[in-house]
Chains A and B, each alone.
Chain A
């Protein structure tokens, strides 16, 4: 039956859960800290260009530099830029 409905196997669910779980375990970083990092990054980038801080995202994933078996976590930030040339602050 399962095959007909193409439900996610429990093995796949376990792998997906572990992937996320281990990243936060390894980094030892709470959601509060992540939020602080996010606002600080937004603050710094805003000095130089106009960004959409509301829709910015940061996350830690394992597709980074080589660590134990190529699994060293790295921080990714996706920041929508509203206007690159803007902000007279650059001067």
Chain B
């Protein structure tokens, strides 16, 4: 019975969401991609690997339901299942929170691999939220993963760090790395004050999997603790497309230009007046 179950889930995929630089949208991306996959009926486990600075629980709106965490699992204080929080809004979506009162050294890459191997038996997708930086937290997060989503914004600092991360992922044997460009502002791109998605892809030279427009709805969604993937907002639609591309589907890129140019034109009229 047990064996049959594990064979059934053989094709589970372990994806790490990483960026190098902090504050570019790793946690938001993890929450939205994970929730989006669950909305499509997949069994998804999100793991917050940022020990000491956990955030995924608040972005998901599950912060009040934490009993056990990743460090408890690793140290054997509870079973893996006990640390998983089920998201009641989406069947099949679970979160393994990180510990807030410990530090990165509480978990080793080997231990992460073990936890992930265990979870692979039950889930289609395991999505890891990687901490910023390139130290042990990063090593822990990538240890059990076989695919990476590299998040960056169209800024020099974020792109530089993303390049470094891509180099490190390559050195760690990653074959599948895909780029998400977050907080793109088409109005700025058009007047030559922001690098376009194509510019960033040319520099980083890995396949693009998503372009997320700068959208205030992301802040609102985070305030409410509910990922906006699939909503009618520009970022919600963009994330829904990322989810489809993660599953290997070809989806054309949205043209944010139209909507935004309309609003900038309107706001431009008011600014002049």
Contacts and interface: CB of A to CB of B under 8 A. Distances in A.
Nearest to B170: A68
A7 B196 CA distance: 19
* B-side interface mostly: helix
A22 B196 CA distance: 18
Contacts, number: 44
B2 interface: no
Given A11-B199, A15-B199, A70-B205, A22 B193 contact: no
B192 A9 contact: yes
Interface string B183-205: 00000010111111001000101
B195 A15 contact: yes
B141 interface: no
Contacts of A18: 156, 159-160, 203
A25 B164 contact: yes
B166 interface: yes
Contacts of B206: 68-69
B159 A10 contact: no
A10 B188 CA distance: 10
6 contacts: A10-B192, A10-B194, A15-B195, A18-B160, A26-B163, A26-B167
Lowest 6 A-B CB distances belong to which pairs?
Answer: A69-B205, A9-B192, A11-B192, A10-B193, A71-B205, A14-B156
Interface of B: 155-156, 159-160, 163-164, 166-167, 170, 189, 191-196, 199, 203, 205-206
Given A11-B194, A19-B203, A21-B160, 13 more contacts: A9-B191, A10-B193, A15-B199, A17-B156, A18-B156, A21-B156, A22-B163, A22-B203, A25-B160, A25-B163, A68-B205, A69-B205, A69-B206
